[in-house]
Amino acid sequence: MTDFLVLITVSIVIAATPMLFAAVGELVAERSGVLNLGVEGMMLIGAVVGFGVTMSTGSAILGIGSAALAGAALALVFAVLVLTLMANQVATGLALTIFGIGLSALIGAGFVGMPIAGLPKLDIPVLSTLPIIGPLLFQYDAMVYLSIALTVAVGWFLKYTHAGMVLRAVGESAESAHSIGHPVIGVRYLATMFGGAMAGLGGAFLSLSVTPMWAENMTSGRGWIALALVVFGSWRPGRVLLGAYIFGGVTILQLHAQGSGSTVGLPSQVFTMLPYLATIAVLTIISAGPWRGRFQAPACLGQSFRPSV
Amino acid sequence: MTNDAAGAPPRLELRRITKRFPGVVANDGVSFSVQPGEIHALLGENGAGKSTLVKIIYGVLHADEGEVLWNGQAVTLANPHAARRIGVGMVFQHFSLFDGMSVLENIALGLEGKSDMRKLNDRIIEVSKAYGLPLDPRREIHTLSVGERQRVEIVRCLLQDPKLLIMDEPTSVLTPQEVERLFGTLRQLSAEGCSILYISHKLQEIKDLCHHATILRGGKVVGECDPATESTRGMAQMMIGAELKTLARRGARPRTATRFNVDNLSLATDQPFGINLKSIGFEVAAGEIFGIAGVAGNGQNELMRALSGELTVAQPSSIRLDGKPVGNLGVEPRRALGLCCVPEERNGHAAVPDMSLASNALISARNRMKLAVGGWIKHDATREFAERIIQEFGVKARGPESAARSLSGGNLQKYIVGREILQTPEVLVIAQPTWGVDAGAAAAIHQALFNLAQNGAGIVVVSQDLDELLTLCDRLAVLNVGSLSRAIDTADASMEEIGLLMGGLHGMSAEVPAVHGSAQNVA
């Protein structure tokens, strides 16, 4: 029984990690006032580039790095469109997702069905071999730890550093930040590209670790859940981390419920819907109740800013 | 203080500053200088180029021609950082604050370089005490009153030890007591040698505070004076460039039938930082102009929406029009009964900026003026109605087909007010009738309101501008944290009395003791 619980917990953490990467990246972009709905597209690009580079070079580190760069590059395209050319953020973000789906399928056409060795699990002497604690905490691959470390780092950055404060200020009021003399557009470029890099990492984790393979549209909506997680976490890294693991839990629950589906007597599609239903339910509750004031979005989220000359 | 005969260079000198925007010269060869410790007024109407000029001094905008001298040396102010580094501080008219962040963070963001937050926290408390500007560094901005927000801006400037402090229309949002307190701080700064560039169009304030005044009109310097000796009328005429017209005021009339009646109106807000209305009650007689004063954010938006019908109330009889309960009716049914409204925000609320003037007339007057019958638009009648508004209210526009956004603020406001008045309302509710409007248009709007009242309509004016309310209204009451004070006759109301009703000290309970000289409330 304990083994089973450990197994479930481990699978929840792994299911949550791609969403955690993407959500924390998107959180940074949104705190600077940029709403990038292209997360799904950037994750796919990260997944295919990470897979392709790892396969052709044999270096997972190179693959992961390239995935982050590819995500950031796609985010840069988005940033040029919405920050420099003042395109509408929502429409451009949606287009970016569609573009990412198509481009990743094109790049990955030759990779479908190719085998690859997954990322090596961590193997710390003593710790990893501990009963229960070992598999529970010390037997993941490096990216799982990286996702948690980056979440903590982002939280610390936003709360305790001057640069983080400027980033939040830019998202709160671009006008004010500009009139005090902070570089609004520059900050937003960097934040958007960081978001892209994180989405790329999330995608690479999918194609290198969760299921070491490439398949078209393999993110299957995780980018959208990551977007919802940012709202769920009310733009705070700690809550996003919690949210990611809850949603990872719902995903795994769904798989297991499907496995033993006959006992419940519901069609399997109902369980596949679960994570998405949970997303809708949570978003509705957050934005409707009397507590909504406490879940404030950055005031300038999604608005273009044109500095007066 | 003003004349530094020793030959030391002025703290700030502008030489022939010119700034052009597409289609308009905002500053045209502006020159003047400010001495150390001098409080220098920059006086002018909206659109005279004051804000552009100070933005150049603060490095937000760049001049096309001319030079800025600082202590006798020519300087280039590439951005606000450069301006702050030489000692220029600025308090913006529209505050440059971040609502969701703390006072401490807001101040740190406006300082050069990174700051040690703990030390900064202590310095904020220290400086705010020294200048009588109490602040709690941990509070978030959205929990502060407008006066407190301004304190944040001022303290932010003071922490940088400024040599020149620019104040852009600082009193437009303050109660009279807050204004007095601000002036105390500014005089203290001046005595310590800090120059102050004070921008305003309120003449009495300039007379009270400033050592010297430069008057701008149409982007040019049109005069200089010593405000202590120059009359306010003289300054106003320099500012406007014409003789002031005196309003044709009506004599007092006996109060007749009640036209509009608000009784025990309570409403829970639907906005995150909104204000709940608490048993509001007042009456407006035929021919009466009733004023609602108060600092912005005390429930004005909620009250306007409740009166117009954008928000309906459960108890129909809490709003009555000529005796008929209308509280549960929406905007259009209320309008059909004769209740017309002019909301505060011109662009996007009172008018659709991208639509033509004719269409903007249609959306409001379609039923009362029968411009759309059975769902079909009568284009000719609509255009005629729009033309009538343009003519009767002297709106400067190319014609009924020009887009609303192509009009200046004053002209659009005249158009919107005209649109409602020509529908011959029984009761007109109007918010901030002359906000950001030039003096000529303001006078025209005031006159139109007088005339409407003369013809027997009841008028409710919601405004933050006390001078305007005292000019227009027969009686007024003050809205404070969602409660309305008792009504007082403007004929015998003093500024102090109204200021106390406005809750000059924030954090004071909404219940202000019955007034008359209870000045101990004003610390």
End-to-end CA distance of chain A: 67
pLDDT value, residue B523: 30
Note whether B52 and B133 are same-domain residues: yes
Instruction: Please check whether residue B367 lies inside any domain of the structure.
Output: no
Note whether B322 and B230 are same-domain residues: no
CA-based nearest residue in chain A for residue B95: A176
pLDDT value, residue B169: 80
pLDDT value, residue A125: 81
Which residues of chain B have a CB within 8 Å of the CB of A162? Answer: 108, 114-115
Instruction: Please check whether residue B369 lies inside any domain of the structure.
Output: no
Which residues of chain B have a CB within 8 Å of the CB of A169? Answer: 98, 101, 105, 109
Mutate to test the interface with A, among B54, B88, B96 (most CBs of A within 10 A): B96
Count of Cβ atoms closer than 10 Å to residue B85 Cβ: 14
Summary mean pLDDT of chain B: 85
Whole-number Å distance between alpha carbons of A59 and A167: 34
Note whether B119 and B185 are same-domain residues: yes
Instruction: Rank B52-61, B422-431, B461-470 by mean pLDDT and report only the highest.
Output: B422-431
Q: What is the mean pLDDT of residues B191-198?
A: 94
Mutate to test the interface with A, among B21, B84, B98, B105 (most CBs of A within 10 A): B98
Q: What is the pLDDT of residues A13-67, one digit of tens each?
A: 999 999 999 999 999 999 999 999 999 999 999 999 999 999 999 999 999 999 9
What is the C-alpha R_g of chain B? Answer: 24
Total domains, chain B:
2
End-to-end CA distance of chain B: 29
Measured CA to CA in angstroms, residue A125 lies from A128, A139, B49 at distances of 6, 11, 73
Question: Which of A89-93, B235-239, B349-353, B425-429 shows the lowest mean pLDDT across its residues?
Answer: B235-239
pLDDT value, residue B244: 55
Mark yes or no for CB contact A172/B101 under 8 Å.
Answer: yes
Q: Is the distance from CB of B91 to CB of B157 less than 8 angstroms?
A: yes
Q: What is the pLDDT of residues B480-508, one digit of tens each?
A: 888 998 888 888 777 777 777 776 433 33
Among residues B435, B384, B383, the alpha carbon closest in space to that of B414 is found at: B435
Instruction: Please check whether residue B126 lies inside any domain of the structure.
Output: yes
Helix, strand, coil percentages in chain B from 3-state DSSP, rounded to 5: 35, 25, 40
Per-residue three-class SS string for B17-78: EEEEECCEEEEEEEEEEECCCCEEEEECCCCCCHHHHHHHHCCCCCCCEEEEEECCEEECCC
Strand B483-484, strand B475-480: pairing: antiparallel
Which residues of chain B have a CB within 8 Å of the CB of A299? Answer: 98-100
0.90 surpassed by pTM = no
Count of Cβ atoms closer than 10 Å to residue B191 Cβ: 10
Question: Which of A132-141, B197-206, B234-243 shows the lowest mean pLDDT across its residues?
Answer: B234-243
Q: What is the pLDDT of residues B439-484, one digit of tens each?
A: 777 888 999 999 999 989 999 999 887 778 888 999 999 998 889 9
Note whether B153 and B68 are same-domain residues: yes
Instruction: Please check whether residue B218 lies inside any domain of the structure.
Output: yes
Note whether B139 and B65 are same-domain residues: yes
Query: Binning pLDDT at 50, 70 and 90, where does residue A308 land?
Result: low
Query: Does the structure show a pLDDT above 60 at B6?
Result: no
Note whether B228 and B320 are same-domain residues: no
Note whether B271 and B220 are same-domain residues: no
Query: Does the structure show a pLDDT above 80 at A137?
Result: yes
Query: Does the structure show a pLDDT above 60 at B517?
Result: no
Measured CA to CA in angstroms, residue B238 lies from A42, A227, B39, B241 at distances of 61, 58, 20, 5
Query: Binning pLDDT at 50, 70 and 90, where does residue A274 land?
Result: confident
Could you tell me which residues of chain A have a Cβ less than 8 Å from any Cβ in chain B? Answer: 162, 165-166, 168-169, 172-173, 175-182, 292-293, 296, 298-299, 308-309
pLDDT value, residue B7: 66
Instruction: Please check whether residue B205 lies inside any domain of the structure.
Output: yes
Mark yes or no for CB contact B100/A296 under 8 Å.
Answer: yes
CA-based nearest residue in chain A for residue B269: A290
Among residues A200, A242, A203, the alpha carbon closest in space to that of A221 is found at: A203
Whole-number Å distance between alpha carbons of A180 and A164: 16
Q: Which long-range contacts (CB under 8 A, 24 or more apart) does B155-158 make?
A: B155/B107, B155/B124, B155/B127, B155/B128, B155/B131, B156/B89, B156/B106, B156/B107, B156/B110, B156/B111, B157/B89, B157/B90, B157/B91, B157/B110, B158/B89, B158/B127, B158/B131, B158/B189
Instruction: Please check whether residue B378 lies inside any domain of the structure.
Output: no
pLDDT value, residue B3: 46
Which residues of chain B have a CB within 8 Å of the CB of A172? Answer: 98-101
Note whether B229 and B311 are same-domain residues: no
Domain boundaries, chain A: 2-295
Mutate to test the interface with B, among A180, A287, A291 (most CBs of B within 10 A): A180
ipTM, two decimals, is 0.82
Query: Binning pLDDT at 50, 70 and 90, where does residue B516 land?
Result: very low
Query: Does the structure show a pLDDT above 90 at B68?
Result: yes
Which residues of chain B have a CB within 8 Å of the CB of A308? Answer: 60-61
Whole-number Å distance between alpha carbons of A309 and A138: 55
Mark yes or no for CB contact A177/B59 under 8 Å.
Answer: no
Q: What is the pLDDT of residues A59-74, one digit of tens each?
A: 999 999 999 999 999 9
B91 vs B247, higher pLDDT: B91
B115 to chain A, closest Cα gap in Å = 8
For residue A225, which phi and psi values (nearest 5 degrees)?
Answer: -65, -40
Residue B313, domain extent: 258-348+415-521
Whole-number Å distance between alpha carbons of B166 and A296: 33
Query: Does the structure show a pLDDT above 90 at A195?
Result: yes
Q: Is the distance from CB of B461 to CB of B290 less than 8 angstroms?
A: yes
Note whether B224 and B146 are same-domain residues: yes
Q: Which DSSP string corresponds to A216-237?
A: TTTTTTHHHHHHHHHHHTTT-H
* Phi-psi region at B87: left, alpha or beta (left = phi > 0; alpha = psi -120 to 50): left
CATH number of the domain residue B330 falls in: 3.40.50.300
Note whether B442 and B320 are same-domain residues: yes
Q: What is the pLDDT of residues B257-305, one digit of tens each?
A: 889 999 999 988 877 667 889 999 999 999 999 999 887 778 888 999 9
> Domain A2-295 carries which CATH code?
1.10.3470
Residue that terminates a domain, selected from B240, B270, B293: B240
If you ran DSSP here, which 8-state letter would residue A209 be given? Answer: I
Instruction: Please check whether residue B137 lies inside any domain of the structure.
Output: yes
Note whether B235 and B264 are same-domain residues: no
Which residues of chain A have a CB within 8 Å of the CB of B62? Answer: 309
Count of Cβ atoms closer than 10 Å to residue B129 Cβ: 11
Note whether B278 and B217 are same-domain residues: no
Among residues A38, A117, A112, A94, the alpha carbon closest in space to that of A70 is found at: A38
Which of B79, B105, B272 is closest, CB to CB, to A181? Answer: B79
Mark yes or no for CB contact A293/B272 under 8 Å.
Answer: yes
Q: What is the pLDDT of residues B328-355, one digit of tens each?
A: 999 999 999 999 999 988 888 899 988 9
pLDDT value, residue B518: 34
Instruction: Please check whether residue B435 lies inside any domain of the structure.
Output: yes
